[in-house]
Chains A and B, each alone.
Chain A
Amino acid sequence: MGHKSRSKVKSVIYTLLAFIMSVLMFLLSFAITLQVTILSPDFLLDNMNSTNYFVEKYQEIVQKLTDLGNAGGLDKSFFDDLLNPVEIYDDTEIYLEEYYSGKSTVVDTTEFRQNFNNALDKYIEENNIQNVDSESREYLVKNASGIYRSSVEVPFFSSASTYILALAKIMPFVIAGLCVMIAAIVLIIVFTNSWRHRALKYLCYATSGATLTVGVIPAFVFMSGKIQQINISSRALYTVFVQCANSVMISLLLVAAVLLIISLTLFFTHMNIRKKLINS
């Protein structure tokens, strides 16, 4: 009787340890996915390149500036040579580099303002425009650089910068800590179990639980179709967001697949060892 109740208590404790390990594996999966996606400076830029973001963004900015130009007395042709996608790429790259290194969260529009002013001077001279008020001109340049800045910046990035940067700093330690805790639980389960196949059983429970927990997120997101319904006014940014969100979900699916392979391996190994033991 005493042996049976001890055995039941042990079973409960191991199941509890397996549950804790499952939760830790879920958190580790999430942390690793975040680390290689959202917290990686190259992630956003790579996705921007692959979605033709800079060409679309160039067209959007030119359209917005043309609308501003209509209000400011500028002909549509003024904006034909003012910008190009390469400049937008350069400014975006610098902005993201400085953002992730914690230096700055705003786009530097100095060069844009200079180019705009130079183009204005040329336009005034070519069209022999007499009626130019310096205050109105400065207001126009200010608004134009505001449009450029807000178009190149990623919305909400500056308000979330504190959290993203803090997360980026601690994430390697979090991942290391989670790995250590998971390893400790694995060692406890393996070395305190007199039967190896039972240890594998609990490890299998943990990895199967983690597989389900991780896998349900991308499954739910893809089935709901919510990603495509995000309300972003910029088409270029919308395309990048959808691509990034899909990348994150696919990363989680891959992690779930790896966990599934591990749990299946543990399951079959456990069954083989158990069968051998029963037969012997």
Chain B
Amino acid sequence: MSDKKNRHRHKSHYGKSFLILPIVFFMGTYLVLYLALAPAFSIFFSASGLFFADFEKNYSTEYDNIFVPVSENSTIPTVDKNSQTLLDINAIEYPQYGNQFGEILIEDCGVDAKLFFGDGDIALRNGVGIYSGSFIPGYGRTILVAGHNNTYFNGLKNAKPGQIVTIKTSYGNYTYEITKTAVKNQASRKAFDLNADHENLIMYTCYPFDELGLTRERYFVYAKYVSGTQIDTDIVEGD
């Protein structure tokens, strides 16, 4: 009787080892690998996280257009500060890199192009782009705009002091007056000042205009601010 009981007890425990031991082996294998490889490969495992995004990459070459022309009787929320009427920054949709957010027009030069935030390939293929390290109109700082000399900025070769540049955005229209033009080396650090504390527009393109090849010089067109409602940036700077 006890023999049969022992046999049955043995039977009831018997199959469990075929489940438990493989799981133990599985955990043991990864433990051994971890102990053996972690010191040498931990840096690669940490770095591997840099190669993955949180979502699948979008390979579309389409761009987002957030530009809606401001009509004459539209009202954008403003604030009054220091006897100045400023645009409420919270009412403005700040463009993301690659967005078309406006248009730039120089009638006297025949320049009429879409204005993008960012000067990447898609922006310069479809219009002209603001260097993302500079500012957008209304911020009271330097706006640096790039474009190709054989497409949208070909008209800059006709730029002369006194000509008017108009930038249209969803939050307002801005005008600038060209003050001077200059040819400088592409690596010149004196060509523009991104730290200037007054609103100014700088447009640049490759020079000479009709030369074939990648040139090392750039043609700069400088313009001073004339009109357009400034943005209340105090909130941003205070925070």
Contact = CB atoms under 8 A, between A and B. Distances in A.
B57 interface: yes
A18 B25 contact: yes
Interface stretch (A83-91, A95-103, A176-184, A231-239): A231-239
Given A23-B29, A26-B29, A228-B56, A205 B21 contact: yes
B149 interface: yes
B52 A70 contact: no
Interface residues of A, number: 52
B22 A140 contact: no
Given A71-B148, A131-B211, A133-B215, A229 B21 contact: no
A187 interface: no
Given A67-B124, A73-B149, A212-B23, A136 B211 contact: yes
B58 to A, nearest CB: 10
Interface residues of B, number: 38
A137 interface: yes
Nearest to A142: B214
B213 A72 contact: yes
B182 interface: no
B59 A131 contact: no
Given A73-B210, A140-B213, A235-B59, A206 B121 contact: no
A269 interface: no
A232 B56 CA distance: 10
A228 B52 CA distance: 9
A197 to B, nearest CB: 12
Nearest to A15: B21
B213 A212 contact: no
B32 interface: yes
A205 B17 contact: yes
B212 A129 contact: yes
Nearest to B60: A235
Contacts of A72: 212-214
A237 to B, nearest CB: 11
B45 interface: no
Nearest to B11: A278
Interface in B184-232: 206, 208, 210-216
Contacts of B212: 72-74, 120, 124, 129, 131-133, 136-137, 140
A15 B20 CA distance: 12
A230 B213 contact: no
Pick from A67, A70, A74, A133 the residue with the most CB of B within 10 Å.
A70
Contacts of A212: 22-23, 25-26
B22 A205 contact: yes
A276 interface: no
Given A67-B125, A136-B214, A229-B54, A205 B18 contact: yes
B211 A208 contact: no
Nearest to B23: A212
Interface string A59-75: 00001101110111111
A6 interface: no
Contacts of A222: none
A70 to B, nearest CB: 4
A204 interface: yes
A259 to B, nearest CB: 11
A225 B150 CA distance: 44
Contact of B26 (A66, A70, A143, A209): A209
Interface string B38-56: 0000000000000111111
A209 B121 contact: no
B213 A70 contact: no
A140 B214 contact: yes
A129 B7 CA distance: 99
Contact of B52 (A18, A26, A230): A230
Given A131-B208, A132-B212, A211 B57 contact: no
A73 B150 contact: yes
Interface of B: 7, 17-18, 21-26, 28-30, 32, 51-57, 59, 61, 121, 124-125, 148-151, 206, 208, 210-216
Closest 6 CB pairs of A and B: A209-B25, A136-B213, A208-B22, A212-B26, A137-B213, A235-B59
Given A72-B213, A73-B149, 15 more contacts: A23-B28, A71-B148, A74-B150, A124-B212, A132-B212, A136-B216, A140-B214, A143-B214, A205-B21, A210-B25, A212-B23, A213-B29, A213-B30, A216-B26, A230-B51
21 contacts: A18-B21, A70-B148, A70-B151, A71-B148, A71-B214, A72-B212, A72-B213, A73-B213, A129-B212, A131-B212, A132-B212, A139-B216, A140-B214, A201-B17, A209-B22, A209-B24, A213-B25, A213-B26, A213-B29, A231-B52, A278-B7
